[in-house]
A and B are shown apart, each in its own frame.
Chain A
Amino acid sequence: MSESFPVVVVGAGPAGLAAACRVAECGARVALVDDNPQAGGQIWRGAAPPAAPWIRRLEQYRVEWIAGARVFAAPSLGALSLESYEGNREIHYRNLILATGARELFLPFPGWTLPNVMGAGGLQALAKSGLPVAGKRVVVAGSGPLLLAVAKYLREHGARVALIAEQAAHPSVVRFAVGLAGSPGKLAQAMRLRAGLVGMRYLTSCWPLSAEGDGKLERITLRRGGKTWSEACDYLACGFGLIPNLELASLLGCKLNRRGVAVDDFQQTSVAGVYSAGEATGIGGLDLAIAEGEIAGFAAAEHLQLARSRFAERASARRFADSLERAFALRAELKELASADTILCRCEDVPLGRVRECASFREAKLHTRCGMGPCQGRVCGGAAGFLFNWRTESIRPPIFPARISSLR
C-alpha cells in the first residue's frame, strides 16, 4: 500500500500535534504518524486536558491519522516505510516534519536491571496505561522537573512516594525555581505542582547507589553527602533527564548539533524539505515544543509569514530551556555508580568493564555487541554518551527491529 501527502509529520506529541494542525489549517493534506496507539505523545498520553484542543482541531481538518505505526526505513527520497501490528505501508511526502520527541536518560548502577526498577517517566507511562500503583511504595530518583510531576501523579493514584532523590544541588534547583517567576505560566504550573507535593521528602544532592532484591526490586541504597542508607520499595522510578530521539533524522542525513537535530529559523534541517520540532531539536519542554511545532507546520505549508509570528514565543520558551539545562546538569559522581560487572547493554548483557576497554561506541558494538540488540543502543547509547562522551547516533535501517517480511 502506498500513499502520497504534501506533508507528513512523524510523532504526535505536543510538537507534532501543533505542526499537523497548522499544516491542516493552511489547507494542505497532512499525515500524522505515531508509534503509539493514541495521540498526545509521552507527556500528554491521549486526550489529557492540554492535548484535547489540539486533538479536537485535528479531527476538524483532513488529517490522516496513522496510529500504532513506526517508521523503520526510508527506502527512497521522499518515502517512509511503516510497520504496525496489523501490517506495513509506505507513505510519500513532499515535506516532512520530524517531531520524534525524547526518551529518558538511564544510567547504570548495580541492580538497575532488576524488574520494577523503571524510568521515572517510564513508571508514569505504565501507570497511565493501567498499571496499578495504589498502595505501592515508590522511590522517585534521578534529575529534573519530571521527577516532581511523576511523584505528584503517582501519589494522586494512591502510591506511597517515600522520597524524591534529585542529584542536582539545592542552590541550582532554587535558582531554577526563582527563575520561573519570570514566566508566569511556568510559575503557576510550579505552584500547582508544589501543592501536590506537600509533605513529600524532596532531597537534593541525593542519588541511588544500588538496587537490591531477589528476582525483583526490594530495596534501594541512596547516598546524600556522606550518608548512605537503604529504603524498602516496590518500585524505583529513576530517570536522569531526557535525550532526543535522533534515529530518523540521522537516517535521513540531517546534521546534528550538541542539542539534537540542527535547524534554521524556520525549523528546517540541513536536508531541504525536512523540518524538525520539539525535543528532537534539543530538550526544551512543552511550550518550546508547541512553538517549534507551529513554526515547522506553517513553514512546511509554505506560509513563512505565519511561521514568523511565532518566533517571539519560541525565543522566550528557549530561555526556559537554557535555565533547565543549567540547573539540572548531571554531576560527575554519577559516572562512578556502575562497577566493572554492572550491565551496561541490557539487550546483550554486556558489562561496563568490557565496554570501557573500547575507544568508541562503534568499537564497542563490533567487539562486545554493546548496542547491537533490539533497542539498537537507545538505552546504552545514552549512558555511553554520558559516561564516555561517545557519539552514538550512527544509524542504519531498519531503525527499529522489523519483521523479516517487512524487509523486502
Chain B
Amino acid sequence: MTLRINGQTVEVAAGAMVSAAVAAAGVSQFRRSVTGEPRGPLCGMGICFECRVTIDGREHSRSCQIPCAEGMEVRTDV
C-alpha cells in the first residue's frame, strides 16, 4: 500500500496505522506543541493526542487510530 507523507512516497504493509507510516518515513516530529516544541506519539492508543497530523486535509487526526489507505496524503506539522 502506498501513501504520501509530506510529499514523500511511503510503502507500508496493509493494516498499518498512519502513525507507523509517518515513523517509517523517518519523521519523528508529528506536530508542534502550543509553544513550538517538537512532539511525537506517546500512548499509541488514542488518548494523548500527541500524534495528531493532517490526513487528506483533515487536521488534528490521531494518526495512531487511523489505518493507512491507498493514496492517503498525510502532512505533519513541520
Q: Which residues of A contact B (CB under 8 A)?
A: 35-37, 42, 68, 70, 85, 103-104, 106, 113-119, 121-126, 129-132, 215-216, 245, 343, 346-349, 373-375, 378-379, 401
- Does B65 lie at the interface of the complex (its beta carbon under 8 Å from any beta carbon of A)? yes
Instruction: Tell me whether A374 and B60 are in contact in the complex, defined as CB-CB below 8 angstroms, given that A129-B19, A130-B12, A216-B29 are known contacts.
Output: yes
Contact check: which of B15, B23, B37, B61 meets A126 at CB < 8 Å?
B23
- Cross-chain contact of B39 among A37, A122, A346 (Cβ < 8 A): A346
In B1-54, the 8 Å CB interface with A consists of: 12-13, 15-17, 19-21, 23-24, 28-30, 33-35, 37-50, 52
Q: Do B40 and A119 touch across chains, with their CB atoms under 8 A apart?
A: no
Kindly list chain A residues whose C-beta atoms are within 8 Å of the C-beta of B23.
126, 131-132
Interface core residue of B30, B44, B60 (most chain A CB under 10 Å): B44
How far does the alpha carbon of A85 sit from the alpha carbon of B35 in the complex, in Å? 28
**In whole angstroms, what is the CA distance A130 to B28 when docked?**
15
Q: Which one, A104, A122, A129, A216, contacts B28 given CB within 8 A?
A: A216
Residues of B within 8 A of A37 (CB): 65-67
**B64 in the interface, Cβ–Cβ < 8 Å?**
yes
Known: A113-B37, A113-B39. A379 touches B48 (CB 8 A): yes
Shortest CB distance A108–B (Å): 12
A101 shortest CB reach to chain B, Å: 9
Within 8 Å by CB of A373, from B41, B49, B66, lies B49
Q: Which residues of the partner chain B approach A35 to less than 8 Å between Cβ atoms?
A: 46, 65
Q: Given the known A-B contacts A113-B33, A216-B28, are A346 and B42 also in contact in the complex, defined by CB atoms under 8 Å?
A: yes
The dominant DSSP class at the B interface is loop
Nearest residue (CB) in B for A103 is B47
Q: Which residues of B contact A (CB under 8 A)?
A: 12-13, 15-17, 19-21, 23-24, 28-30, 33-35, 37-50, 52, 60-61, 64-68
State whether A130 touches B20 (Cβ < 8 A): yes
From A42, A85, A118, A401, B41 is in contact (CB under 8 Å) with: A118
Report the Cα distance A349→B65, complex, angstroms. 23
With the chains together, A114 CA to B39 CA distance in Å?
6
Minimum CB distance partner of B27 in chain A = A115
Residues of A contacting B41 in the complex (Cβ-Cβ under 8 angstroms): 118, 122, 126
- Summed over the interface, the residue pairs from A and B with CB atoms below 8 Å come to a total of 122
Query: Is B42's CB under 8 angstroms from A130's CB?
Result: no
16 contacts between A and B (CB under 8 A): A36-B46, A103-B47, A106-B43, A113-B37, A116-B28, A118-B40, A125-B45, A125-B64, A126-B17, A130-B15, A130-B24, A131-B23, A216-B38, A216-B40, A245-B47, A346-B39
Closest B residue to A237 using CB positions? B44
20 extra A-B contacts, CB within 8 A, seeds A113-B37, A122-B42, A124-B44: A36-B65, A103-B43, A114-B38, A117-B42, A122-B41, A125-B44, A129-B17, A129-B19, A129-B20, A130-B12, A130-B15, A131-B19, A131-B20, A132-B24, A215-B28, A216-B28, A216-B40, A379-B42, A379-B48, A401-B49
Q: How far is the CA of A37 from the CA of B43 in the complex (A)?
A: 16
A123 with B49: CB separation less than 8 A: no
Docked CA distance A121–B45 (Å): 9
Cβ-closest 9 pairs across A and B = A130-B16, A125-B44, A130-B20, A115-B40, A129-B17, A122-B44, A115-B28, A374-B49, A131-B20
